[in-house]
Structure 1
């Protein structure tokens, strides 16, 4: 028997709003989660991005808030939804605005990179639902611009990514402002030990719902890996992109600086490319994402800030220009393709220093990724590879060892082998786009200054 939204007990006003959306039938995560949330239970939901998690927690929250029948007090918040990135916060808020059309429910969002004064002014009137990044919310709490003393609902969306980005201290600080008597919902695509501990800390006898094995990528995605030095990655990426002109591609780099330089290089080569990362303002990121969604850009270069929750149906290809240093992020990256029943392709570039990251990904997937080019790096090559941050001296477009694009690769003899020539002071191998410390793995700082927000 097919379950409908009406079968889940949602109010007539919400059902009426849903009629004007593309949501006709509830997804598996919505069927499982909504009844428990409506009953006031704490819940831990395990589901990959793109499965309808926002509606799974948003619709029952709206139902319960509508039952209150009166507006929130000034500066107070009834329900708080925390998400790790500005893009995800914006997407959640946009969806909630659609669901609340025609009702008196007020939805607000606060993120870094936008006017703190304007956000504080909006919160003066109070909000039924506040969607926020942790850093900016702490800024507003410390200024006294918002109060969580009347917050009865707390939602942690993409909780695993929040932990990856070092937001655990921010979560602890925020939780102190929220009453212990509350309903807490935690949604995550993976279930590492840290998430289990987080659930034990903040959830009371939670109901656990799961619609797909954590970490399992979409089956419709063709995956492959290309083994090559860092200095060759840009040219090989160019060759791949030229094979599918007019089809959109998402390229993931590890660092803000490297992603920006790669984007500029692609533009110089004639590609319609843009970039989003933590150094971009919120307006810049929103504008670039809009251009990509509208097919005004063919290539979007991004750090892992774009890997979670961003639904861009036109993306056919995902390139892991740098391997992610958190294996679960691989699943989220490639999940940006094969959306809405379509097929997709994921191609990863693996340099010698990234063999460990690739092996961690394959361990998570419980399978070996097919080889598209090159061969797995030998242990001695991996051991001799420059560590992250050591190969920054190469200009864009150069091949390995710093030679110009299109020149013959420099053949380097291994130490101790016959024919080895003295090379003087060794030069850094690889290129500007070598893996360095991840944008999301920043050193701990004051919670109020954390980026991205």
Structure 2
């Protein structure tokens, strides 16, 4: 698209206060989804927009919401809830609220936003809703709970409805809540559905919510092309996965902020405890942690307090269709786990400037692969993705390749990662030594210890640290858990192994290397004298 054809923010008829906020955010011109969606939304049209994660979808609907509220208040000053934004997860709810507050920085008295998706008691949130914020952000279940408690009345005042990450709502179990709360909305309102994919659930929502919508399909491919996103795979079995991740992180072959995805929560802690043996700090993000702690972890990661998050994409992301159709069997009690059903990492969450995504365990579906890898190479930033592939994961790798390249194509999207495992055999005994310390009991104790620790952190986050934001930064989430016995000699790379690495360097073996600025092709690496 030619520069002269681009519609700029100041040409959209936006309020000066919104333009000032956009300038403060450093947004010189709209993204493609914003350029197309904002003018249509300001005309009052319903929208169904499909665009890739990181394309600016949130601002694409938030700006029209704010503009319409400002325009409405020029004639009707009565305070009322005029817009409802529905999201599938609490983390996304908080991020939507943050974005709206940034966009209303110069009109915050005229446009107020409240996120009620958190775990606070319904009664504790009632005073917030009694003040009738202009925009309410929430999960469908929490909105329905407030409607049932008569804390929320939308039938006479609501003008706009947004469903963000619409393709996830049903898979997160919100179908019944959503259909119920739609009965409490007025007959006429403007609606936006924002989604990364147009699956059957989105088509069903379109029929329920939209009236003669304009469809925006701005996503050509499901992931950025190879000039922006470099995707690699390496064949390695279970023990080799731990050996390789140790080598990548300890020798600095992975640089910049990285998300490491594993298949379940136990694996999160197993990997964290393993890395602790070598003094490699990482924090775990999972559904068992309190919402305040999870959001604080994301915030600190975005601010650069630590470089590695180990995460698992739970709650239906591995196979959304399966979860949307699954019903509990009669007579069987569901086993209760301390997990938050409104948790999600691989989609929607706005991780800033992620250089690398590492699939320590390959995802169980093509959709999950796309969502995980979509955490990097967002907007115009470069990124890299590396997947560890065991023999049991080869079939799913083939499915991912077929989806991304098309059936019958001989081109491979995931290029072989140029790494020879025999070159790091000298580190294997150290990894085995560390893995022996990470027992099932150690993992169990680590999970329990961190939950207790984060519950305490969460209370602090809600009370003392609200009044002392600077002290909030002192509360870190990547501290050692130490349920396994830490062996001090594993912290350093001994001289004889350092010499081995210098020999490798002299032999001029070239390896793929990641950098904070994205991928830079084959660079001579593995040169260390002594790492502390």
Give the TM-score taking structure 1 as reference length.
Answer: 0.77
Distance 1:313 1:102, change over 3 A: closer
Distance 1:167 1:264, change over 3 A: farther
- Asked whether the equivalents of residues 10 and 63 of structure 1 are also in contact (C-alpha less than 8 Å), the reply is yes
CA distance in 1, matches of 2:221, 2:118: 30
Distance 1:268 1:85, change over 3 A: farther
Which residue in 2 is equivalent to 1:25?
29
Which of 74, 95, 113 is the matching residue for 1:107?
A: 113
| SS of the residue 1:306 aligns to | coil
- Asked whether the equivalents of residues 86 and 111 of structure 1 are also in contact (C-alpha less than 8 Å), the reply is yes
Distance 1:358 1:171, change over 3 A: farther
Which residue in 1 is equivalent to 2:362?
323
* Structure 2: runs of 5+ lacking an equivalent: 314-343, 406-410, 420-427, 434-442, 444-532
Which moved further from structure 2: 248-257 or 86-95? 248-257
Q: Does 1:306 align with 2:315?
A: no
Which residue in 2 is equivalent to 1:51?
55
Aligned residues: 381
What does 1:401-412 align with in structure 2 at a 5 Å threshold? 405-406=431-432
Distance 1:108 1:326, change over 3 A: farther
| SS of the residue 1:51 aligns to | coil
Distance 1:256 1:145, change over 3 A: farther
What does 1:138-287 align with in structure 2 at a 5 Å threshold? 138-149=144-155, 150-213=157-220, 215-219=222-226, 220-242=228-250, 243-244=252-253, 247-287=256-296
- Asked whether the equivalents of residues 112 and 135 of structure 1 are also in contact (C-alpha less than 8 Å), the reply is no
> How far has the Cα of 1:322 moved from its partner?
2.4
CA distance in 1, matches of 2:117, 2:364: 25
What does 1:325-404 align with in structure 2 at a 5 Å threshold? 325-339=364-378, 341-366=380-405, 368=412, 369-372=414-417
Q: Does 1:133 align with 2:172?
A: no
Q: Deviations over 1:93-129 (max 9, x none)?
A: 1111111123211101012334544422211111211
- Asked whether the equivalents of residues 251 and 318 of structure 1 are also in contact (C-alpha less than 8 Å), the reply is yes
Q: Deviations over 1:374-397 (max 9, x none)?
A: 9xxxxxxxxxxxxxxxxxxxxxxx
CA distance in 2, matches of 1:278, 1:72: 40
Distance 1:140 1:261, change over 3 A: farther
> How far has the Cα of 1:11 moved from its partner?
2.2
- Asked whether the equivalents of residues 328 and 364 of structure 1 are also in contact (C-alpha less than 8 Å), the reply is no
Distance 1:310 1:404, change over 3 A: same
> How far has the Cα of 1:64 moved from its partner?
1.0
Distance 1:356 1:246, change over 3 A: closer
CA distance in 1, matches of 2:206, 2:131: 32
> How far has the Cα of 1:39 moved from its partner?
1.1
* Structure 1: runs of 5+ lacking an equivalent: 375-398, 408-431, 433-453
CA distance in 2, matches of 1:37, 1:100: 18
Which of 67, 74, 95 is the matching residue for 2:71?
A: 67
> How far has the Cα of 1:307 moved from its partner?
2.0
- Asked whether the equivalents of residues 215 and 364 of structure 1 are also in contact (C-alpha less than 8 Å), the reply is no
Q: Deviations over 1:146-167 (max 9, x none)?
A: 2222322111111123233333
CA distance in 1, matches of 2:125, 2:269: 29
- Asked whether the equivalents of residues 224 and 377 of structure 2 are also in contact (C-alpha less than 8 Å), the reply is no
> How far has the Cα of 1:356 moved from its partner?
4.1
- Asked whether the equivalents of residues 55 and 379 of structure 2 are also in contact (C-alpha less than 8 Å), the reply is no
Distance 1:218 1:190, change over 3 A: farther
Distance 1:232 1:168, change over 3 A: farther
- Asked whether the equivalents of residues 282 and 307 of structure 2 are also in contact (C-alpha less than 8 Å), the reply is yes
Distance 1:246 1:347, change over 3 A: closer
Give the TM-score taking structure 2 as reference length.
Answer: 0.66
- Asked whether the equivalents of residues 355 and 383 of structure 2 are also in contact (C-alpha less than 8 Å), the reply is yes
> How far has the Cα of 1:27 moved from its partner?
1.2
| SS of the residue 1:57 aligns to | helix
CA distance in 2, matches of 1:268, 1:134: 43
Which residue in 1 is equivalent to 2:521?
none
Distance 1:236 1:165, change over 3 A: farther
Which moved further from structure 2: 274-283 or 230-239? 230-239
Which residue in 1 is equivalent to 2:93?
89
Over the aligned positions, Cα root-mean-square deviation in angstroms equals 2.7
> How far has the Cα of 1:77 moved from its partner?
2.6
> How far has the Cα of 1:134 moved from its partner?
2.5
> How far has the Cα of 1:42 moved from its partner?
0.9
CA distance in 2, matches of 1:87, 1:307: 11
Q: Deviations over 1:322-350 (max 9, x none)?
A: 22334223222212222453322101123
